[in-house]
Amino acid sequence: MYSNKLGRLMFGLKGLKVTSACGAFERAAARSGFSWAAVCKQRTLWQQRSACARMHQTGVRSAVHTTVDHGEVKRFQLLANKWWDEEGEFAALHAMNDLRVPFVRDNLLNAQRERHPGQPLAGLRILDVGCGGGLLSEPLGRLGATVLGIDPVEDSVRIAQLHAAHDPDLRDRVSYQACTLEELSGEGEPQQQPEQGVTQFDAVVASEVVEHLADLDTFAICCSHVLKPGGSLFITTLNKTNLSYALAIVVAEQLLHIVPRGTHDWEKFISPVELERLLESNGFLVQSVQGMLYNPISGAWSWTNNTEINYALHAVKQDDEAQDGSSPSGGHNEATNS
């Protein structure tokens, strides 16, 4: 019952302006048998419960300064064996490679003078933060990059290592480490000794990760530490809007079960404007923000000017002279939110 109506909704959203997107969902939702008012009421209740929970957790988090949310780690621990099931819980992430791999590749190539036919990212070192089972690490390695994937979920790292071992072309290019970003960057107390000799990377990728982290300030600081001056940071995540709550949580989790219930916490979503402000306060200059849209009927992703739900961001770490000379100005106008 929901599939045909949701398909019409997703088709309509692709060409909509941000200001009309909520109205489109409201009309489609009414035809599908559930109301926009009920969705907003549910979100309000969620906000109240989350606020109470944060009152108990804030003191602990502020003292720890860690990116790791242990509840998220436990959740992904249970899903670790399902990373490479292309029709399972991570089907949407597999499909997202059609957008996020070219997004990383093309932006890195724009900054490169040398060209390597067949292996365009050869000579570049990339850090894949929250790599999971290696869904993004592997295709970046096949493009010639030397990739280190890190994840606090040891079982996910084990799955990533086993999967990469079957491809001889990846053995010398892609490696994995069960550790946190702060451990790797030297900002945290390591429970395990990170890989020795890790210096700085040409690019850091955090795809569908920041909405699961405990502390985004620590994340930004650590990314700056591990990136070379002029290095690129790539993020894909969810905007914090009524529409993202309705589609990413109510529809995707509760109605269509595209992802397991409880995968997302709307309170952890962040708007492009807020994310840009956070990154620029830590020495980054945001180059571009582009909306992404997932169609659950076709299982495909597409680019859109609407950043109301999902979006991809590319930022560059400024060198010390650039930061001292002037404050970042942004340099783009794609980021929109409500």
* Binding-site residues: 100, 130, 151, 207-208, 211-212
| Rounded CA separation 252/245 (Å) | 10
Distances (CA, A) of 330 to 257, 279, 326: 37, 10, 12
Q: How far apart are CA 210 and CA 216, in angstroms?
A: 7
CA pair distance 304, 64, nearest whole angstrom: 38
The DSSP element (H or E) to which 176 belongs, if any, is: strand 174-177
- The whole-angstrom separation of Cα 152 and Cα 76 is 10
C-alpha to C-alpha distances, 29 to 98, 257, 295, nearest whole angstrom: 29, 17, 16
CA atoms within 13 A on the CB side of 331: 12
User: Largest Cα–Cα distance in the chain?
Assistant: 58
Residue ranges at the known binding site for S-adenosyl-L-methionine: 100, 130, 151, 207
Q: Per the structure block, which two tokens stand in for 336?
A: 């929109």
Measure Cα distances from 144 to 3, 124, 147, 325 in Å. Answer: 40, 8, 9, 35
What residues form the annotated binding site for Mg(2+)? 208, 211-212
